[in-house]
């Protein structure tokens, strides 16, 4: 069925406009609540949020929706997305909700849903909730209306959990680490967890005001942390996004280390220690061909999925893999979490620094990426990819690559963008092919 609300990562858009209004949030609460009212136990939902101004509005609207159909609500306040997934499972809740637009600027917001097992909902569950939203809701009778309660120890619970992901013999005493929390959900928990493990922490992006999330800081805007790492002569920089489910690393030279290099390090380290499951890792079509070649040389497989961490996780669960992620920095380590967790991934990287006694630049540049270029083309409506001129441009580019590289052309799941990516050993060719396809899309849009 065609989706009106849900995209590749829940519901996302401009807050208080379009589909993402308080009225929609209340309907989501009612519909998701009804969908998970199973059994005769007392039903509850955990709701967390990042630091966006609109989070207050969305939190109250969702609370009204869930309580109106008879679910009790547990409110955590600002907390990373993986922490909400953890608490949903730990508190025996029927559903978890994270209010966040992840790496987007403050004007946007979103709703991510987790099932009672702490995993993101399946397409089938989301479609059922969408269908439920279109129906009149059966509201709870007066004595069965749910209650709402705010808990104070959610941050401490999460800090304890992420520290458990690092072996007891690892101490971070000699490391100086810049931690950029993007003025987002991890602004307290991640610096605290890493400080408690012994590191000297230099915080950045830890003063949220409701409007500055992902603004000049965080994993999608790295200039500030690169400069700070060099200025402080730090050993490493850790950059999270607004809801802390993705990680980008900065080495001691100020160089950017993306998700592909991080996955390569974690996977090969775990393989050496006999901890890697499935004989490889899972990533998306966007991961660099260099990663695939590097893993193959280590006797490891790269399984590719379509873009979206939920699809990575589905393939991981189906094939019993325990390491997966995306080039953009989502790291899913199912030995420790049910969804992407930037803080847990950062701790695995820091643990390797300690084990190897190497610098970040030595440890985190395991392969040379194949030249890769991604450009976005905005469109107003219709389907530019269905136009004959665009299809001809794509076919021509594929014929020219002739198996020596890859093309990935797709619609964004969160914005009206066509994403055009090409990679291959000839950088000039890659740029030329991307430009030719983008020009065709722009002409058709």
Is 102 catalytic? The answer is yes
Query: Which pLDDT score is estimated for 2?
Result: 63
Confidence of residue 93 (pLDDT cuts 50, 70, 90): very high
Please tell me whether residues 28 and 97 are part of one structural domain.
yes
Residue 249 pairs with which residues in a beta bridge?
Answer: 238, 257
Report if residue 297 sits inside a domain.
yes
Please tell me whether residues 376 and 306 are part of one structural domain.
no
Residue 380 has pLDDT above 60, yes or no: yes
Report if residue 306 sits inside a domain.
yes
Please tell me whether residues 265 and 304 are part of one structural domain.
yes
The mean pLDDT value for 84-94 works out to 97
Report if residue 160 sits inside a domain.
no
Please tell me whether residues 48 and 193 are part of one structural domain.
no
Query: Which pLDDT score is estimated for 192?
Result: 98
Please tell me whether residues 147 and 59 are part of one structural domain.
yes
Where among 93, 121, 152 does a domain terminate? Answer: 152
Please tell me whether residues 377 and 349 are part of one structural domain.
no
Confidence of residue 4 (pLDDT cuts 50, 70, 90): confident
> Would you list the DSSP string of 152-202?
S-HHHHHHHHHHTTS-TT---TT-EEEEE-TTSTTTTHHHHHHHHTT-EEE
Rg (CA), the chain: 22
Query: Which pLDDT score is estimated for 3?
Result: 77
Query: Which pLDDT score is estimated for 92?
Result: 96
Residue 1 has pLDDT above 60, yes or no: no
Query: Which pLDDT score is estimated for 307?
Result: 87
Please tell me whether residues 211 and 275 are part of one structural domain.
yes
Residue 283 has pLDDT above 60, yes or no: yes
Report if residue 17 sits inside a domain.
yes
110-163 per-position pLDDT tens digit = 999 999 999 999 889 999 999 999 988 789 999 999 999 999 999 999 999 999
| 3-state percent helix, strand, coil for the chain, nearest multiple of 5 | 40, 20, 40
Please tell me whether residues 65 and 195 are part of one structural domain.
no
Confidence of residue 404 (pLDDT cuts 50, 70, 90): confident
Where among 314, 336, 363 does a domain terminate? Answer: 363
The CATH number for 430's domain is 3.30.310.50
Residue 235 has pLDDT above 60, yes or no: yes
Pairwise CA distance, residues 145 & 139, whole Å? 8
Report if residue 161 sits inside a domain.
no
Please tell me whether residues 296 and 411 are part of one structural domain.
no
Whether the Cβ atoms of residue 372 and residue 400 lie closer than 8 Å to each other? no
Confidence of residue 349 (pLDDT cuts 50, 70, 90): very high
What whole-number percentage of the chain has pLDDT above 70? 99
Where among 87, 121, 152 does a domain terminate? Answer: 152
Distance, C-alpha 77 to centroid of its chain: 19
The CATH number for 282's domain is 3.40.120.10
Q: How many structural domains does the chain have?
A: 3
The mean pLDDT value for 25-29 works out to 97
Query: Which pLDDT score is estimated for 308?
Result: 87
The mean pLDDT value for 308-330 works out to 95
Strand arrangement, sheet containing 247-251: 200-204, 176-180, 236-240, 247-251, 256-257
Please tell me whether residues 317 and 416 are part of one structural domain.
no
* Contacts by residues 2-5 (CB-CB < 8 Å, ≥ 24 positions apart): 3/126, 3/127, 3/130, 4/130, 5/130, 5/133
Report if residue 314 sits inside a domain.
yes
Residue 414 has pLDDT above 80, yes or no: no
Tell me which residue range forms the domain holding 119.
Answer: 11-152
Pairwise CA distance, residues 86 & 80, whole Å? 10
Say if strands 44-49 and 72-78 run parallel, antiparallel, or are unpaired. parallel
Please tell me whether residues 122 and 226 are part of one structural domain.
no
Whether the Cβ atoms of residue 144 and residue 325 lie closer than 8 Å to each other? no
Please tell me whether residues 345 and 378 are part of one structural domain.
no
The mean pLDDT value for 356-370 works out to 96
Residue 79 has pLDDT above 70, yes or no: yes
54, 68, 102, 287: which one is catalytic?
102
Residue 265 has pLDDT above 90, yes or no: yes
Q: What is the mean pLDDT of the chain?
A: 95
Report if residue 164 sits inside a domain.
no
Report if residue 5 sits inside a domain.
no
* CA atoms within 13 Å, Cβ hemisphere of 203: 17
Confidence of residue 278 (pLDDT cuts 50, 70, 90): very high
């Amino acid at each position: 069925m065609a989706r009106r609300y849900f995209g590749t990562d829940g519901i996302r858009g401009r807050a208080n406009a379009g589909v993402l209004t308080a009225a929609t949030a209340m309907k989501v609460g009612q519909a998701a609540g009804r969908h998970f009212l199973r059994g005769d136990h007392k039903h509850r939902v955990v709701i967390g949020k990042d630091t966006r101004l609109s989070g207050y509005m969305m939190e109250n609207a969702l609370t009204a929706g869930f309580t109106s159909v008879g679910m009790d609500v547990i409110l955590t306040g600002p907390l990373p997305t993986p922490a909400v997934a953890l608490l949903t499972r730990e508190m025996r809740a029927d559903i978890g909700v994270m209010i966040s637009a992840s790496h987007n600027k403050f004007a946007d917001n979103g709703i991510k849903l987790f099932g009672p097992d702490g995993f993101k909902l399946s397409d089938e569950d989301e479609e059922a909730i969408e269908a439920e939203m279109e129906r009149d809701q059966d509201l709870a009778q007066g004595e069965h209306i749910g209650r709402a309660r705010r808990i104070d120890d959610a941050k401490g619970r999460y800090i304890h959990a992420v520290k458990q992901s690092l072996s007891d013999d690892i101490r971070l005493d000699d490391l100086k680490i810049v931690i950029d929390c993007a003025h987002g959900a991890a602004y307290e928990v991640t610096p605290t967890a890493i400080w408690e493990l012994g590191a000297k922490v230099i915080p950045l992006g830890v003063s949220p005001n409701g409007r500055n999330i992902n603004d000049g800081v965080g994993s999608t805007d790295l200039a500030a942390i690169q400069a700070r790492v060099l200025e402080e002569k730090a050993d490493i920089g850790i950059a999270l996004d607004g809801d802390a489910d993705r990680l980008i690393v900065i080495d001691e030279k100020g160089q950017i280390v993306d998700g592909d290099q991080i996955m390569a390090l974690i996977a090969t380290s775990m393989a050496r220690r006999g901890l890697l499951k499935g004989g490889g890792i899972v990533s998306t079509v966007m991961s660099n061909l260099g990663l695939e070649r590097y893993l193959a040389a280590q006797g490891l497989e790269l399984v590719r999925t379509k873009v979206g961490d939920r699809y990575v996780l589905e393939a991981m669960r189906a094939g019993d893999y325990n390491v997966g992620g995306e080039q953009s920095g989502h790291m899913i380590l199912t030995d420790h979490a049910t969804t992407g967790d930037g803080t847990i991934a950062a701790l695995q990287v820091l643990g390797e620094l300690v084990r190897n006694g190497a610098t970040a630049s030595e440890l985190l540049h395991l392969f040379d990426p194949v030249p890769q270029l991604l450009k976005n083309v905005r469109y107003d409506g219709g389907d530019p990819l269905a136009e004959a001129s665009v299809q001809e441009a794509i076919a021509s580019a594929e014929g020219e690559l002739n198996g020596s590289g890859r093309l990935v052309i797709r619609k964004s799941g969160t914005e009206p963008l066509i994403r055009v990516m090409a990679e291959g050993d000839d950088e000039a060719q890659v740029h030329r092919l991307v430009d030719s396809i983008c020009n065709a899309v722009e002409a058709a849009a």
